[in-house]
Amino acid sequence: MLRCSFCGRRAVYHRRYAGVFLCDRCMIKSVERRFRRAISENKLVMPGERVAVAVSGGKDSVACLHLLHDYCRGRRCELVAITVDEGIKGYREQSLPVARENAEMLGVEHHVVSFKEVFGAKLDEMVKIAAKRVTGLNPCTYCGVMRRHLLNQAARELSADKLATGHNLDDETQAIMLNYVRADLSRLYRLGPIYMPREGFVPRIKPLREIPEKEVALYTLLRGIKVHLDVCPYASGIHTEIRDFLNSLETNHPNSKFMILRMFEEIRPHLQEAVPEVEMKSCESCGEPTSTRLCKTCELLQGIGLAKRRKNLISDQNS
């Protein structure tokens, strides 16, 4: 029997990059400690703040909701959960109830914002329309741009001071590598534990950023938290290639993911001067903040003959 390197109880996890074994209790404690440290070191959440959490129902966002809920107790912080229903058959329709259940269980106010209601089409329908009109369509582009758009707008309408997402170490290193491969300096600069954008945008925080995906999954399992484990049916292409590459790198050279993160952190402060300042305006179609005439969401919608139908996401929903 393998024993925990810290307390001698039965080990459930081999943390290869640190050369230690952990039992269930030490594993839970370690994840929670790392979560709290990420928040305090980077000042992600301040006492008295209202934090919106993007909860899809997947393990990362649900773990983030539970961890933040524990963290906010006694700190006068308030949580509100937002789920974006993109309309992906067999995927989101199963994860949405999981998100709702977890929010209810923790007594966290929960809002659902759907592509269908706001844009007039589900992602599945957009993909079908786009396949006929736009060449080289990537569903992840539509989904990513529009989901961020709705999360930011909903968080702002809910008067949130921060918008928390469940990005883990694997997500973050994949994003770093992807922006290297695409030579996208401004997107690269936006990565980090906290991104303070301009007027009209809610600062985004990633408190799970230093926790490997495997450990987030094990954490939810050990704490008996209900999560949805399926992978999005649209996941493919360069994202998955980079993920597989990083996983094989980590297998053969443990600690590689943390090293990529650390190196990026060394470089990041020097990127600011290389990223051009842009002037912010209001989107001519929907009024949301953007640096161009139309925001990216409206531009993509226009390309497939659609337009945003609702100006307010939350107030319209409740009235």
**176, 298, 300, 313: which one contacts Zn ion (CB under 5 A)?**
298
55-84 residues near Zn ion, rule: CB under 5 A? none
DSSP state string for 95-151:
HHHHHHHHHHHHT-EEEEEEHHHHHSS-HHHHHHHHHHH-TT--HHHHHHHHHHHHH
Q: Does 295 bind Zn ion (CB under 5 A)?
A: yes
Q: How far apart, in whole angstroms, are the C-alpha atoms of residue 28 and residue 221?
A: 10
**Window 236-275: contact mask with Zn ion (x via CB under 5 A):** ----------------------------------------
Q: Does 286 bind Zn ion (CB under 5 A)?
A: yes
**6, 180, 189, 258: which one contacts Zn ion (CB under 5 A)?**
6
Q: Does 105 bind Zn ion (CB under 5 A)?
A: no
Q: How far apart, in whole angstroms, are the C-alpha atoms of residue 319 and residue 312?
A: 11
CB 171 within 8 A of CB 261: no
Stretch that binds Zn ion, among 68-76, 174-182, 263-271, 295-303 (CB under 5 A): 295-303
The nearer residue to Zn ion, 18 or 235, going by C-beta atoms, is 18
**13, 21, 26, 143: which one contacts Zn ion (CB under 5 A)?**
26
Q: Does 283 bind Zn ion (CB under 5 A)?
A: yes
CB 117 within 8 A of CB 87: no
Q: Does 306 bind Zn ion (CB under 5 A)?
A: no
Q: Does 150 bind Zn ion (CB under 5 A)?
A: no
For residue 269, the tally of other CB atoms under 10 A from its CB is 9
The nearer residue to Zn ion, 9 or 309, going by C-beta atoms, is 9
The nearer residue to Zn ion, 149 or 167, going by C-beta atoms, is 149
Please, what is the minimum distance in Å from the beta carbon of residue 9 to Zn ion? 5
For residue 210, the tally of other CB atoms under 10 A from its CB is 20
CB 118 within 8 A of CB 308: yes
Q: Does 4 bind Zn ion (CB under 5 A)?
A: yes
Which residues lie below 8 Å from residue 30, measured CB to CB, with a gap of 6+?
Answer: 22
Q: Does 285 bind Zn ion (CB under 5 A)?
A: yes
Give which of 147, 101, 123, 130 is closest to 233, Cα–Cα: 123
The nearer residue to Zn ion, 65 or 202, going by C-beta atoms, is 202
Give the footprint of Zn ion on this chain (CB under 5 A). Answer: 4, 6-7, 9, 23, 26, 283, 285-286, 288, 295, 298
